[in-house]
Chains A and B, each alone.
Chain A
Amino acid sequence: MDVNFFGMLFWPSIDAGPHLINLFVSHVTAVLAAGLFAALSIAALQGVLITILPAKAYRRVSVTIQTALMGVLVMLLFLSPLMGFSIERLIKNHNPSLYWFPGFWFVGLYERLRPATHNPLLAGLGISAIRALGCAAGVCAATYLPFYRRHARKMLEAPEPSPSGPGPLRKRIAGILDCLLLPHPIESAVFRFIGQTITRSVKHRLFLATYGGFGAAVAVMSLGSESGLLRLPLTLSFVLVSGLRAAFNFPSELRANWAFQVSETSHARPYLLATRKWIVVCSILPLFALLAPMEFACFPWTAALFHLAFGIALSVLLMEILFLGFRKVPFTCSHFPGKVNLVALGVVYVLGFTVYSSTMAGFESWMTGTPSATALFFAAAASVSLLLNRWQAREPDGAATLDYEDRGDPVVRTLDLTPQ
């Protein structure tokens, strides 16, 4: 109701003409029903999960579900305008997606309440909206209301009775990573700390889910054309790396960072290297592993392999560029969001999502038929990444210079006219 308040107030008065009250009631009913459906569906899902799952499984699943839902909601937010524009075409084609996406059902409900197009298919979708709302309300009443309140506090707030720690598989993977990838204990410490914080801090998880939802919306919009498929991995990796860059800036339990300050017994290099290794191993490689089946399904295997290699190389380069000047352990430095220049940030993002991915996709197409250019590109990407990495890890004063205090915007700016 709050979110849609201004729309409910103004839209009918713009559109209605002589039938203002009739349109206002229809608009409010359709919007309220859609909002109620979304809220009740999520509550019903929680109610079902808490009823059927044991406490330990619920704890794990609910975290994943919460993150996924956040991502889905953000994705739908970005896709909604596209859906609005395409609804006429979808109805003409009797597209099956009309029956799968709840947003269309509630447009149908609007049509039922105040017929505008007199399309029977659209009006029929309105019935689906009423059924779906009834179904969500029924499941919510049967599971969430009686069980959730009774069990949730007990399950969520009570500590696990005898936590057993990581299983043998996780220990084995951690051991292999330590052996092969993280030779310095500090690298191992920072690498683990990043993973633990990302998976356990609700704030960071939801922040990244928001980026993920945006990336998923971009992915959906890219599907359908070959050039879109070429741009897709690059756009997604841009969303991923820039999302991590932003998430790493937000502190987690800032006052606990004294432990890092007091234990800083090495130069900055292993700390910075661990951050980069985490991004490559835990985000860039999994992203391209997820994209690999699609690549192999859409392109010949040699082209698919080339796309993947190109995407990974470019993502690593992008990471080095975006993380220039990031001399911190993620989540341990104070952050003043007010000093972020939103206009500049917006320009960077728009360029990233448009110019970067389309230019690089064009470059990739051009390079595909030229082996010498391909070899040159990979050599140049590797050299530049390495140089940036070395430059970043330099020690300006010969001392460890990790940042724990963000340089905030000064309250009073001086002109420095007085000689020191």
Chain B
Amino acid sequence: MLEIQRLTKYYRNTPVVNDVSFTVRPGEVTGYLGPNGSGKSTTVKIIAGLIEATTGKVLLDGRDIREDPMGFRRRLGYVPEEAILYSYLTGLEYLQLIGRLRSLPPQEVDRKANELLDLFSLESYRHAPISTYSKGMKQRVLISAALLHNPDVLILDEPLSGIDVTSAQLFKHLLAELASKGKTILYISHVLEVVERVCAQVIIIYKGRIMAADSVERLRGLMNVPSLEGIFAQLVEERDLESLARNIVRTIQTG
């Protein structure tokens, strides 16, 4: 179980993440939602160990991850928000690099990397440099790299960004399958429809603070709205989006 306890991160005296606490249970997909700049990616970067929190802690199975950061990283699979990869490596070389860095034996890395590239429909591009890949292809390489070492904890920051419809469908099934194998999954997304379908629990963050944390059904009941989109709009939208859209059109039409 992954527990985030009173996590706070300040940038130049401004709290980007402010006293955030939640729990991600094994065997479940937990959705982490919020508008741009709400602090989602900062939270997951802290969990992944890429930046340090100002205060607060992250526990895995009751143990602070700072006590054994390497042990935590061994159990972690991470897909970052942006698909930044070594563009001069080929897809296969990248997976071989990550697999070996994770101390997997070379034969196992080669076998798994080739199989994952096949399964993610990248087999004919395995020897092509990543610089020639589309955004969706890069995203599939990232997902493969995150899964290569069979991690217990998965943090997926916008994994469907740039991915085509078929791959997105595959990914939804993959999430459900991984959860059924007992993986602890934190899933960050803007695509509310996917979150609604695959997440047992959703956490909504706005301006660095948690606005809601519960199952979609309970939130629907509590807030008396039919969809996650409605819940999201009620919690984080301060503006009337319809009138805003009308204003935009009026602006571009004004001679």
Query: Interface with A: B20-28, B91-99, B214-222, which one?
Result: B91-99
Contacts of A197 in B (CB 8 A): 86, 88
Q: Is the CB of A262 within 8 A of B49?
A: yes
Q: Is the CB of A265 within 8 A of B74?
A: yes
Q: Say how far A201's CB is from chain B's closest CB, in angstroms.
A: 6
Contacts of B98 in A (CB 8 A): 259, 263
A255 near B: Cβ within 8 Å? Answer: yes
Q: Say how far A127's CB is from chain B's closest CB, in angstroms.
A: 47
Could you tell me the distance between the alpha carbons of A66 and B60 in the complex, rounded to whole angstroms?
Answer: 52
Known A193-B97, A200-B88; 9 more pairs at CB < 8 Å: A189-B96, A189-B100, A192-B97, A252-B88, A256-B84, A256-B85, A258-B80, A262-B73, A399-B70
Contact check: which of A162, A165, A263 meets B102 at CB < 8 Å?
Answer: A263
Contacts of B84 in A (CB 8 A): 253, 255-256, 258
B9 near A: Cβ within 8 Å? Answer: no
Contacts of B92 in A (CB 8 A): 165
Query: Interface with B: A9-17, A109-117, A180-188, A315-323, which one?
Result: A180-188
16 pairs of residues in contact across A and B, judged by CB atoms under 8 Å: A159-B129, A159-B132, A189-B96, A201-B88, A252-B88, A253-B84, A253-B88, A255-B82, A256-B85, A259-B98, A261-B50, A262-B73, A265-B70, A265-B102, A266-B70, A399-B70
A420 near B: Cβ within 8 Å? Answer: no
Contacts of B14 in A (CB 8 A): none
Q: Say how far A64's CB is from chain B's closest CB, in angstroms.
A: 16
Could you tell me the distance between the alpha carbons of A197 and B126 in the complex, rounded to whole angstroms?
Answer: 18
Contacts of B89 in A (CB 8 A): 196
Query: Interface with A: B103-111, B165-173, B192-200, B244-252, which one?
Result: B103-111
A256-B86 contact given A165-B92, A185-B103, A265-B103, CB 8 Å threshold: yes
Contacts of B48 in A (CB 8 A): 262
Q: Is the CB of B70 within 8 A of A400?
A: yes
Contacts of B101 in A (CB 8 A): 185-186, 189, 259-260, 263-265
Could you tell me the distance between the alpha carbons of A265 and B69 in the complex, rounded to whole angstroms?
Answer: 8
Could you tell me the distance between the alpha carbons of A99 and B99 in the complex, rounded to whole angstroms?
Answer: 56
The 4 closest A-B pairs by CB, nearest first: A189-B100, A165-B127, A263-B101, A163-B127
B243 near A: Cβ within 8 Å? Answer: no
Give B89's nearest chain A residue, CB to CB: A196
Could you tell me the distance between the alpha carbons of A162 and B105 in the complex, rounded to whole angstroms?
Answer: 28
Contacts of A409 in B (CB 8 A): none
A253-B105 contact given A163-B127, A258-B50, A266-B70, CB 8 Å threshold: no
B2 near A: Cβ within 8 Å? Answer: no
B5 near A: Cβ within 8 Å? Answer: no
Contacts of A225 in B (CB 8 A): none
A403 near B: Cβ within 8 Å? Answer: no
A226 near B: Cβ within 8 Å? Answer: no
A164 near B: Cβ within 8 Å? Answer: yes
A266-B103 contact given A185-B109, A193-B97, CB 8 Å threshold: yes
B227 near A: Cβ within 8 Å? Answer: no
A residues contacting B by CB (< 8 A) are: 159-160, 162-165, 178, 184-186, 188-189, 192-193, 196-197, 200-201, 252-253, 255-256, 258-267, 399-400
Q: Say how far B97's CB is from chain A's closest CB, in angstroms.
A: 5
Give B75's nearest chain A residue, CB to CB: A265
Q: Say how far A145's CB is from chain B's closest CB, in angstroms.
A: 29
Could you tell me the distance between the alpha carbons of A178 and B90 in the complex, rounded to whole angstroms?
Answer: 20
Q: Mark B156-179, 1 if CB is under 8 A from A, else 0.
A: 000000000000000000000000
Contacts of A259 in B (CB 8 A): 85-86, 97-98, 101, 145
Could you tell me the distance between the alpha carbons of A350 and B90 in the complex, rounded to whole angstroms?
Answer: 41
Contacts of A160 in B (CB 8 A): 128
Could you tell me the distance between the alpha carbons of A264 and B103 in the complex, rounded to whole angstroms?
Answer: 10
Q: Is the CB of B102 within 8 A of A163?
A: no
Could you tell me the distance between the alpha carbons of A263 and B109 in the complex, rounded to whole angstroms?
Answer: 14
B124 near A: Cβ within 8 Å? Answer: yes
Q: Say how far A193's CB is from chain B's closest CB, in angstroms.
A: 6
Could you tell me the distance between the alpha carbons of A258 and B70 in the complex, rounded to whole angstroms?
Answer: 15
A162-B145 contact given A188-B100, A262-B76, A266-B70, CB 8 Å threshold: no
B residues 106-150 with Cβ under 8 Å of A?
106, 109, 124, 126-129, 132, 145
